[in-house]
Amino acid sequence: MCTSNYPRISVLIPVYNAAPFIAATIQAVLAQTFEDFELILLDDASTDNSAEIIAQFHDKRIIFARNEQNLGIAATRNKLAAMARGEYVAVLDHDDICRPERLKTQAVFLDSHPEIAMAGSWFELFCPRTAPLPRRLLVNLGWVWRQPLFPTLKDAWRGNVLMHPTAMYRRRLFEERGICYNAAYTPAEDYDLVRQALEAGLKLANIPQVLLRYNLHGGNFSLRRKEQMRAADRRIKEEIRSRLTPRPKFFYPYFLVMLQKLRLKFIIGKNNV
Query: pLDDT per residue over 37-58, tens digit each?
Result: 999 999 999 999 999 999 999 9
- CA dihedral (8, 60, 92, 37) in degrees, to 10, reads 10
Instruction: Report which of 89, 88, 76, 83 is spatially closest to residue 50, judged by C-alpha positions.
Output: 76
Mean pLDDT of 245-253: 85
∠ Cα 180 182 188 (to 5°): 110
Please provide the average confidence, as pLDDT, over all residues in the chain. Answer: 92
Q: How far apart are CA 116 and CA 174, in angstroms?
A: 12
Mean pLDDT of 68-88: 98
- CA dihedral (200, 157, 184, 12) in degrees, to 10, reads -70
Q: Which domains does the chain have, with CATH numbers?
A: 9-267 (3.90.550.10)
Q: What is the DSSP string of the chain?
A: --SSSS-SEEEEEEESS-TTTHHHHHHHHHT-S---EEEEEEE-S-SSSHHHHHHT---TTEEEEE-SS---HHHHHHHHHHH--SSEEEE--TT-EE-TTHHHHHHHHHHH-TTEEEEEEEEEEE--TTS-HHHHHHHTTTEEE---SS--HHHHHHS--S-GGG-EEEHHHHHHTT----GGGTTSHHHHHHHHHHHTT-EEEEEEEEEEEEE--S--HHHHTHHHHHHHHHHHHHHHHHTSSSPPSSPPPHHHHHHHHEEEHHHH-GGG-
Q: How far apart are CA 248 and CA 252, in angstroms?
A: 9
| Contact (CB, 8 A) for 161 and 118 | no
Q: How many CB atoms lie within 10 A of CB 224?
A: 11
Query: pLDDT per residue over 118-173, tens digit each?
Result: 999 999 999 888 778 877 888 888 899 999 999 999 999 999 999 999 999 999 99
3-state secondary structure string, 87-106? CEEEECCCCCEECCCHHHHH
- 98 — phi, psi (to 5°)? -80, 140
Confidence of residue 61 (pLDDT cuts 50, 70, 90): very high
Confidence of residue 270 (pLDDT cuts 50, 70, 90): low
Q: How far apart are CA 88 and CA 85, in angstroms?
A: 8
Confidence of residue 269 (pLDDT cuts 50, 70, 90): low
pTM of the full structure: 0.91
Query: pLDDT per residue over 89-106, tens digit each?
Result: 999 999 999 999 999 999
